[in-house]
Structure formats: structure tokens, C-alpha cells
Chain A
Amino acid sequence: MRKTIVSPIAALAASLALPALAQERTLTVYTYESFVADWGPGPKVAEAFEATCACKVTWVGVADGVELLTRLRLEGAGTRADVVLGLDTNLIAEAKATGLFEPHGLSPEGLTVPGGFSDDTFLPYDYGHFAVVYDSETLKDPPASMKELVEGNPDEKIVIEDPRTSTPGLGLLLWVKSVYGDEAGAAWEKLKDRVLTVTPGWSEAYGLFTKGEAPMVLSYTTSPAYHMIAENTERYKAAAFAEGHYVQIEVAGLTKAGKDKALARDFLAFMTGPDFQSIIPETNWMMPAAATRDPLPEAFDRLVKPEKTFLYSPEAVAENRKAWIDEWLSVMSAR
């Protein structure tokens, strides 16, 4: 039985014995996991920034944007983060309410995000419009508007995400609200019959979609770019909606607790510059928030470009989120 007791202790000991970090200027950036994955923007961004600053970038990646905010709330003023990158506009109000962030003091000049977003604490680094992505091999007449999606043939199903647990799910909720306003409940009532299932997150929904369970899924206008560039197929397309699309803008901000605020500000300035922005499209599969060094890859030209963009202010989302989710729940839970 000796082994039984020794191995957990060994695991603990091993976990404590990480080598001490070398003494140099360091910047700790909290972000979501897919940003720092080896195919994500993180490694390239760190390399590019380190070349300008004689410093070391340390990434801490948590599951997603919502988890990022949770992590900060848990850590409070003692957080090690200098920069927090990966919140979206729907989380900004709550992030500010924690009192952990300080104004960036940078000019938003050169930023090209739609919906006229501007904020003194958070700077955008990329954005994507939510869209219904469909399988062009099984769906011959995709909906051309939110109205057509809501009122269309209930046998042609869509997989959506749950607004209680996921950002795209909340995005769709806000999108329907933007289009229908007070009639949103009635719209969900109709759309309900087309919804195959409501998944906890984007991965489950997209997994069901690519398995062919439903011809449509709620995703982003940029999703087809991945399939075109990485898989060389045009099978999956985004449907352009006549009313317009809701946008998700991803932002970053610097913390009050940061040790080296000058370095953190340099990073935010670098973030909206062409070196960082050029990395984004093909690693994060989102649209850059400012000018890139070269024109975007050709596949991006073929993506849906929404003419009208919907975006609620962070305060409006924070104020109404609960009531709107309750409205959604009562309609969607009814038999």
C-alpha cells in the first residue's frame, strides 16, 4: 500500500517545484485558451511583441471569455494579470464593475470595428458577426433574413447554443431582440420548432452540424473562411440576413494591479497595430479590428459582409440580460 500514499504526494511535490522565472520585464496576459494554443495567435503575437520590448510575455489561458471574467473576480485586486485580453462587449459592464481595470488612455484612432464601439477602458482587437452557417449540400434555399429563419420550414433544423452558458447563445438572443424588440418572445415561439437542440457551447453545436444532424448552426460569418483555407472546401457557407447581423467585438484592457503599466500600455498600442492585426485573421478566425500589413487572404473576400450591424451597449446588456434570458426560457421550455 505504500505506493498508494506516495504518488499523490509526489504529484504535489512535482507541482511545487517549477523553476523560478528569470528576472526581466515580464508582461502577464490573461486570455482564453484557443488564443494561446499552438495554432492560435498567442505564440506569434508573443514573438512579435517581444521583438519590440526586450521583455517576456507570459500567457495564462482559461476556457473562454466568461471564465476569464470569473477568474478575475476570484483573484480580485491580487491578480497577476497585467493585461486581460478576450472579453467581449457583453461582458464589459460587469468587468468594469469589478473595479479592477484602469482606463487605457490610448487613442482609438485607426480602429475599424463596426457598430461604432468605443470605450475608455477596453480596446477592441478583433470582431466577428454572428451568422447562421449552413451546409450548402443539404440546404438549397438558405434563409435570407431573420424573418425567413424564424418563419421557415420547421423540418429544416438549426442547432443553437444556450444563452445561459455560452457567448454565441447570448449573441443569438441579442440578435433576435435587436430585430424583433418586444416581439422577440413571439419570434422564439415560431423559431422553437426549427431548433433541433440547444447545446451548452459552440463546440457541441458545431460538432452536431458537421456530423450532418442539422443543416444550419449558429456560428460566425468567418467560419466558412476556416473551411475554405484549412480544408479547401466551400461546402459550408454563412447566410446573409437582410435585417443585419449582431456583432461580437473582442476587447482587452489593463489592470490596476499590473506591475509594469507602461509595458501593458505598449502592448495595447501594439495590439491595434499592423503586426498584431495581421496575425489575427488566419489564427483566431475573426476579422481584424484595424489595418493589417497585407490585404486579407482571398477567402475573406468571399465571406458575408453585413451591411447593417446590431450592437447593444454593454450597460443595456448588463441591465436586461437576466430578463431577456427569462423570456427566452419561458418560451423555449413550454411544451
Chain B
Amino acid sequence: MIFARAERRALRAAGGIALGFVLAFVGVATVVLLSHADGAGAPLLDAYTWRVARFTLLQATLSTVLSILLAIPVARALARQRAFPGRVWLLRLSAVPLGLPALVAALGIVEIWGRQGVVNDLLRLAGLASPVSVYGLTGILIAHVFFNMPLAARLMLAALDRIPAEYWLTAANLGMGGGATFRLIEWPVIRRVIPGIAGLVFMLCAASFTIVLTLGGGPAATTIEVAIYQALRFDFDPPRAVLLAFLQIAVTASLLSLGTLLGRPPEEGMTAGRAIRRFDGRRRRPADALVLVLFTLFTAAPLAATVASGLAADFGRLALDPLLHRALVTSLAISFSSASLSLAIALPIVLVPPLAGAADSGTATRLMARALPAMGSLILLVPPVVVATGWFLVLRPFGETGRFAPAVITVINAMMALPFVVRVLEPAYRTHLARTARLALSLGVTGRHRLRWIDLPALRKPFLTAFAFAMALSLGDLGAVAIFGAEGFVTLPWLLFSRMASYRTADAAGIALVLGVLCLLLTLPSTAADRRRQGPADA
């Protein structure tokens, strides 16, 4: 019983609205597409589809395992070393890959790992004759780890940072070694967030398209997402696209439900809110330094390559390009709106499940408490191109479809960002609730006042982080613009691709740099909040 009655009623209503909104938005598009059958009607479950589904699962599983395994030491090192020059910038870097269109990231990775890349140059200098080939499963894995490992590390770090400072004090007093600290303090916390993070990474990799085709080396590397795209384009068979999307969701959902079995109910420790001091930081400094240097090299090198090619662009001309100004304004407006909407939908997803814990919660509440988080993650597997096509059909009778493009894109981006936002907010909120809910209730601080004085100040940082992730994701998304093709409607990724498609590679690289810098700027508020909260003792 951690909520007042009025609060519970309001939360249930909000949960219902969020659930209804998302289901209706996706459902309407799906139904319209299913009824739009004039394709050849190729059999859905042929050998080709199975092969594609198998490869999708294989590469997504490997990518996820690698990303998670590599993220653990990085998160631990970052949690231990709480003050070193550049730490905050390392955290900021983790949002940048999210905001880069896959094509840009792929080219950045090729500059480092490709046939003419830095790694092979070094290997050749070292006297090795045959260079490493990135094209194939290797390339796909490198790219997916590049995208997702920093994200996973960042989310794990957030979990480690929520460990009460008292634990570290006690660990130091007891003289715990590295092994015992990991086993008794860090692993239980990391283990709890792994299913959520792994699920997110898995879905991102399963729905990968450009990376898989470009770096995959040939059609043996094909994901279901490619088949969906194929069904909507050359084959023009919308029902097949929808069925393939269902297949993608079913296959992934069954795998993810295995993952949740491994998850454990949370155990939250109480804290007096003192600043975290890591007494084992000094001892582990050399090892942590090595881990962090490797992490930085791996993450920053392809970004640096992107920056280097971006700097070759003619910025004098680009800066005066009115089209770029318009794209910048449009992209910022859309990503801001979609991040706001995403947060609004994510709130009930995060807030409602704790309601179901109460003894007197009804069946409806318990159902909703299960449905909301499931929706909040599986939405990532709904291909944006399918939803956009469906809504195109829905909106067509209402006049010029191009007018609706900004609204549809905003909603689609908000939904894509939902799983990220939930992953950031949910663990933070759970900890917050465990620490404050009973006290607040016993003091009679409820409703608006609780939100204003207790919840918002404590959740300020996760809010800002989630907002930055959601905005970055939306900024880098080409998505539905391609279908709506409205006159005069340009976003940054759209401009980037259109420059690229007409030989203007330098311009495209310049726009990619603009996107990267924007993503970096987006993370400033959340990391600044970090500093303020920790105070001068360890900033």
C-alpha cells in the first residue's frame, strides 16, 4: 500500500490511456494493411523466411551476448573510478551512436575496421599479410556492439550508482576483495537489470537492416526486417509485410520471455543519501584505466572517423544553406515533440506496475501492470515502415497526406523510443519508490505535492537521460519521411541521404557531424544534473 486511493485511480486512468493509444495507433495501421491485399500472396513460411528468421536470431543473440559481456567491466570501471578527467564526456559519448543513421555509423566502422581501415593498416605494419575482413558476421557484430555496448554500460552504471553508499562503506570496513565485492554487491544489482537491457539490445539487433546488409557480405546475412522491406517495396504485398512483422514479434517475444525468467524481484537497500565513495577505486586504478582506454578507443574511433570526414565538408557553404536550416529546425521540433510524447506514454508504463503489488488490486490493474511493460518493449519490433504505410492509407481520404507527415513521424519516433525511456526510468523509479513511498504516504504527502517535492527532484536525472536518448533516437531516424514525401518537408537524415544519393558525400559527412554534435549536446543537461547531485565531494 504505497499509493493513496486518488493516486491509484489517476494512475490506472493514465495507464489505460497509454495502452489504448499505442495499441490503437499500431492496430489501426495493421488492420488497414491486412485488408489491402493485391499482392501475389507468396507463401509466408517458405524456406527463405525460415533461413532469414534463423539468421536474425543468430546474429541478434551473438550481438546481445557480446554487448552485455563487454559492458559489465566498463560499467564496473566507470562506477569505481568516480572522478577522472573526461569521465563525464565518456558518459556523453554513449548517446551519440543512437543518433547516427546506420549508414553513417557503418561507414565510420569501415574506416576503422575495413579493408583500408586503421586496424588493418596497423596489422600490415606489424607484418601480417592477410588483413582482417570485416564483411560478414564479424562486421555485423562489431557494428552492433558499437551501437549497443555503450548503451548497456550506461544503463548498468545507472544501476550500480543506485547502490546505497553505505554498502561501499561496509564493504571497505569488512575488507572485501574485488571478487567478493562483485559477487555480493555488484552482480546482484547488474543481474537484475540484465534481462531488461539484453531484451532492448536484442530487439535493436533483430530489427537491424542497413548494418546487416552493408556489412554482412552477401544475402546470407538477411534479417526479417529486410524481408519486410522487400515485401512492401518490389513485391508490394502489404499483408505479407504485416505477417512477417508478426513473425518477428512472435519469435523475439518467445526468446525474451525466457530472459524474464532469469530476472529476479528487486531488493532495494535503504540509504541516508550520502555521496558514494569507492574505497576500492585507488587499488583498481590501473586495471580500470586499461578497460576504459579500450572502451574509449572502440567507441570513439569510428566517431572520430565520422568527425574527420565531416570536417572535410565545406561548412561555410553548408552553414548558409537554407535547406539545412529548415531541416535542422524540423528535426529538432520533431525530436523534441516525440521525446515529450514518449516520456508521457512511458510514465504510466513505469508507474502502474507497482500498483499491482497491493493486496486489493483488481484483475484489471494486474492485467494492465503486465500489458504495459510488454507493450513498452515489444513496440520496438513493430517496423516503422509498416506503421507509416498503414497510416498513410488511413489518412489518405483526409486530403494531402504530406500535411500529416510531421504528426505521424512524431508518434512513430515516440513509440520507437519508448523501450529506451522505460529502461532508464523504470529501475530508477523502483529504487526511488522503495526509499520514499512509505514515508511520503505516512506524512500524507500525496498527489501533486508528492510529484513536485519528492518524485521530480529525485528523478530529474533519469528524466533528462531518457529525454536525451529519445531525442537522439528521433534525430537520427529517416523513418517514415520516405513514404510521405511531403513537399518542403525535410529532416536532417533525409537531407543527408539525399545528398549522399547524388554524389555529395562531403555534404553528407558534414550533416552527419551536425547530427553527432547535436546528440552530444543533448546529453549535457542530464550529466550536468549528475554533477549537481553528487556535490563537490566527488565531482
Contact = CB atoms under 8 A, between A and B. Distances in A.
B370 interface: no
Interface in B487-521: 487, 494, 497-498, 500-505
A200 B222 CA distance: 10
Given A207-B505, A213-B110, A332-B219, A4 B343 contact: yes
Contacts of A285: 502-503
Interface stretch (B82-90, B154-162, B176-184, B404-412): B404-412
Nearest to A36: B487
A273 B485 CA distance: 28
B74 interface: no
A137 interface: no
Main secondary structure of the interface of B (DSSP, over half): helix
A80 B400 CA distance: 8
**Most chain B CB atoms below 10 A, which of A15, A60, A227:** A15
Contact of A202 (B209, B485, B501): B501
A69 B483 CA distance: 11
Interface in B323-348: 323, 333-334, 336-338, 340-341, 343-344, 347
B218 A1 contact: no
B215 interface: yes
B219 A329 contact: yes
Contacts of A67: 233, 482-483, 485
Interface in A303-328: 321-322, 326, 328
B246 interface: no
Interface in B369-422: 389, 392-393, 396-397, 400, 402-407, 410-411, 414
B508 to A, nearest CB: 8
A162 B219 contact: yes
Interface stretch (A70-78, A106-114, A117-125, A242-250): A70-78
Interface stretch (A179-187, A189-197, A263-271, A290-298): A189-197
Contacts of A61: 485, 487
A320 to B, nearest CB: 13
Q: Counting chain B CB atoms within 10 Å of each CB, which of A64, A196, A230 scores highest?
A: A196
Given A8-B341, A204-B214, A63 B485 contact: yes
Given A74-B393, A78-B396, A213-B114, A208 B233 contact: no
B226 A164 contact: yes
A152 interface: no
A38 B323 contact: yes
A147 to B, nearest CB: 22
Contacts of B410: 8, 11-12
B485 A70 contact: no
Main SS of chain A's interface residues? helix
Interface string B1-44: 00000000000000000000000000000000000101010000
B402 A165 contact: no
A259 to B, nearest CB: 14
Contact of A213 (B115, B333, B337, B340): B115
A199 interface: yes
B103 interface: yes
Given A34-B502, A203-B501, A335-B220, A8 B106 contact: no
B111 interface: yes
A60 B111 contact: no
A231 B411 CA distance: 41
A309 B486 CA distance: 37
Contacts of A130: none
A219 B502 CA distance: 12
Interface residues of B, number: 72
Nearest to B402: A60
Contact of B219 (A4, A157, A164): A164
Contacts of B233: 66-67, 70, 165
A204 B103 contact: yes
A333 B405 CA distance: 38
A197 B214 contact: yes
Contact of A74 (B218, B229, B336, B389): B389
A51 to B, nearest CB: 21
Given A1-B344, A165-B229, A226-B503, A11 B216 contact: no
A59 interface: yes
B450 interface: no
B344 A333 contact: no
Nearest to A160: B218
Contacts of B503: 206, 223, 226-227, 230, 285
A206 B209 CA distance: 18
Range of interface residues on A (Cβ < 8 Å): 35 or more
A8 B340 contact: yes
A140 interface: no
Contact of A212 (B116, B347, B397, B494): B116
Contact of A70 (B209, B232, B336): B232
Interface string A1-43: 1011101101110111010000000000000011001111000
A93 interface: no
A37 B403 contact: no
A285 B504 CA distance: 13
A15 B407 contact: yes
B236 A7 contact: no
Given A63-B482, A165-B213, A213 B344 contact: no
A87 to B, nearest CB: 13
Contact of B236 (A11, A40, A73, A207): A73
Contact of A197 (B218, B486, B504): B218
Nearest to A75: B396
A131 interface: no
Contacts of B36: 74
Contact of B487 (A10, A59, A69): A59
A153 interface: no
Interface in B87-123: 103, 106-107, 110-111, 114-116
Contacts of B215: 197
Interface in A205-219: 206-208, 210-214
A128 to B, nearest CB: 13
Given A15-B403, A37-B498, A10 B226 contact: no
A198 interface: yes
Given A211-B107, A213-B115, A333-B220, A37 B341 contact: no
A7 B219 contact: no
B48 interface: yes
30 contacts: A4-B341, A5-B344, A8-B337, A8-B340, A11-B337, A12-B406, A38-B323, A60-B487, A61-B487, A64-B501, A70-B232, A78-B396, A157-B115, A164-B219, A165-B213, A165-B230, A165-B233, A165-B234, A192-B218, A196-B135, A199-B213, A199-B214, A203-B501, A206-B505, A208-B114, A211-B110, A212-B116, A285-B503, A333-B218, A333-B220
Sort A-B residue pairs by CB-CB distance and give the 6 closest, nearest first.
A62-B485, A63-B482, A333-B220, A12-B407, A203-B500, A15-B406
Given A37-B502, A196-B115, A204-B210, 14 more contacts: A7-B337, A11-B333, A12-B406, A15-B405, A60-B487, A62-B483, A66-B234, A67-B485, A71-B483, A204-B214, A213-B114, A214-B115, A230-B503, A326-B48
